[in-house]
Amino acid sequence: MKAVVQRVSQARVEVDSPAGAPEVVGRIGAGLLVLVCAMPTDTQATADKLLDKLLKLRVFANAQGKLDHALPNIDGQGRVGGLLLVSQFTLSADTKKGNRPSFAGSAPPEQARALFDYLVAQARRIHPDVATGRFATEMQVHLVNSGPITIPLDID
């Protein structure tokens, strides 16, 4: 799985609603916004590895400013950070030829949905503050990147 992790002070995902006004489908305060792309060789074990990495990734500062805290305890005093998971197949973009990216390297939609749904279910089982975007939907992702800290992950 490919992922881009952004440490945020807040983030939300909106989609168009039938009424015309944007609908917020996922929102977190301080935590991690994670854009996720499933690849054809990915399995549930790959999703488990990604989730384990996300929950242990030390990108929150301690009192000395050193990145020492992870999502379950972002301030060292028990404050839990939010986890906003957003499916984004465009992370598989191949731009080597021409000017139009190819997304042929991403998992087929059925596999991608199953793996994303599994990742979300596992995250919700383990972590108390999980939100998501909406799979295969045009979304507007709003975030305040804290730091800024943005980390690409490639999980095999």
Q: Residues 142, 86, 110, CA angle at the centre, nearest 5°?
A: 145
122 is catalytic: no
Question: Which residue of the set 90, 137, 140, 150 is catalytic?
Answer: 90
DSSP conformation letters of 14-57: EEE-TTSSEEEEEEESSEEEEEEE--TT--HHHHHHHHHHHHH-
Token output for 152: 């690409």
Question: Which residue of the set 46, 88, 116, 132 is catalytic?
Answer: 88
Q: Computed from CA positions of residues 100, 106, 110, 116, in that sequence, does the dihedral angle turn out positive or negative?
A: negative
Taking a C-beta distance cutoff of 8 angstroms, is the pair 130, 124 a contact?
yes
Q: Residues 143, 148, 152, CA angle at the centre, nearest 5°?
A: 85
Amino acid at 139: M
Question: Which residue of the set 46, 89, 116, 132 is catalytic?
Answer: 89
**Which active-site residues does the annotation give?**
88-90
